[in-house]
Structure 1
Amino acid sequence: MYKIDTPVSEQDFNQYFELRWKMLRKPWNYPLGSEKDEYELVSQHRMIRNRQGEVVAVGRVHMNSSDEAQVRHIAVDKEYQGKGLAKLILASLEAFAREEGAVRIVTNSRQISIPFFASSGFEIEKEVSNELGKLKRQQMVKRLTSTNTILLHPKWCRQLQDTWYETIPISEQMGIKIHQYSGKTFETRASLNKNINLHGTMFAGSIFSLATLTGWGMIYLQLKEKGLEGDIVLGDGNIHYHKPITMQPRALCNIESLNGKFDPLLKNKKCFIKLQVAILDGDTAVAEFSGMFGILPLKAKA
């Protein structure tokens, strides 16, 4: 059984880059250092070790734009080829790209690796410039679809996502997307790369915005469930931070946290709903948001 790891320490990265050079640059007589490029610091890196702790497979992905990711430098030690390790690395990189909001993933493949990427769902799109002046490459593309998401009312969720992007453009720039709605639980996720500060963690203001939109969205969907309409506004919001976000920003709102009644809307009166939103970094709880939202009947807007 092989486990996907993310290099963290200097030693991890030394071993990671050594294998990359050994498999992808040394055969063409390129020196140490040629295996690195300007995207290393903004990329996600993955590796696999053997039982002796030696790195035997590596790969990398970075975001070219808000909806396109690029995979590069997948390599497997010769002794471990044919065991499916490259597929494991690619699957991990694709999962990260999906979480970041990518709808397509590209790679510039040499002729020898085209069958591998084709077997993983990639298609040749065009020829690209030679790598390091020698290695002919083809750009291959794979369309990504969301997996493992539960959308009880996909039409409502799509309308909600569109509403955010149209009326609050910064939500799209932050990479905030609906991940799950089960009727009782509403989950959103954001891109860490688009909200990262100089410490390599998520901006506190971005976390607050993610929490606020998640609470707003839960109320929007509950209004749909009840056949009601209204303008949703944040009256008061407080957040308590415990740990920084360094991996996957997630926000969850459970229906049990809602406190208040929607009935006044039936009489064209405003109502108030309190709720809580949990903020997680992957599976680790890092902050709690409490908000008071007001819902105004539509005809009372004037």
Structure 2
Amino acid sequence: MTTISAKIVQDSLDLQEVLQVRRSVFIEEQQIPESLEMDGLDSIAAHVIVKEDDMPVATGRLRNVQGEAKVERVAVLKSSRGKGLGKLVMDSLEEYALQQKFSAIVLNAQEHAIPFYTTLGYLPASNLYEEAGIPHMKMKKDLT
């Protein structure tokens, strides 16, 4: 039986696992330059790590950006997609945002992921724009 767990990262070992997942998805799979992906902001963010049978398979981070909770770097390994792990990442980050007393949460969704975020209650907050060569849209969800 498969065991799936999600937790907020507490130590440097967990953070290294987060970075492994992001490297696989963003740098290797999506060909995003490492200099853009590894932006130096991980130390001021809260991260969630999802493990399947003790193997890191999904992640995301949340930062306070000008008083708003901003979700970033949501990634699920290709081999683990379609199992609800992205929703688990988002649920964990939203719960953390509520604990931190944020009233809303924002994110910049890659175009292919807009339908996913829409099913979670996120609404468009911009037109499409390009970031790292990929079309994105700002989306927002009220947490109150």
- What's the TM-score, normalizing by structure 2? 0.87
Matches within 5 A, 1:145-294: 145=144
Matches within 5 A, 1:1-40: 1-32=3-34, 34-40=36-42
1:31 is displaced (CA, Å) by 4.6
5+ residue gaps, structure 2, are none
CA contact (8 A) 2:125 2:137 kept: yes
CA contact (8 A) 1:25 1:34 kept: no
Q: 1:28 to 1:2 in 2, by over 3 A?
A: closer
| Matched position secondary structure for 1:49 | strand
- How high is the sequence identity, in percent, across the aligned residues? 27
Shifted more, 31-40 versus 11-20: the winner is 31-40
Matches of 1:96 and 1:24 in 2, distance apart?
Answer: 24
Matches of 1:127 and 1:42 in 2, distance apart?
Answer: 28
Structure 1 runs of 4+ off > 4 angstroms?
Answer: none
The reply on whether 1:41 has 2:43 as its aligned counterpart is yes
1:29 is displaced (CA, Å) by 2.7
| Matched position secondary structure for 2:43 | helix
| Matched position secondary structure for 1:15 | helix
Match of 1:59 in 2: 60
Cα RMSD (Å): 1.8
1:128 is displaced (CA, Å) by 6.2
Match of 1:140 in 2: 139
Q: 1:101 to 1:65 in 2, by over 3 A?
A: farther
Q: Deviations over 1:241-274 (max 9, x none)?
A: xxxxxxxxxxxxxxxxxxxxxxxxxxxxxxxxxx
Q: 1:88 to 1:28 in 2, by over 3 A?
A: closer
Structure of greater relative contact order (alpha carbons < 8 Å, 6+ residues apart)? 2
CA contact (8 A) 2:7 2:92 kept: no
User: Which amino acid in the other structure matches residue 18 of structure 2?
Assistant: Y
- What's the TM-score, normalizing by structure 1? 0.44
Q: 1:70 to 1:128 in 2, by over 3 A?
A: farther
User: Quick check: which has more Rg, 1 or 2?
Assistant: 1
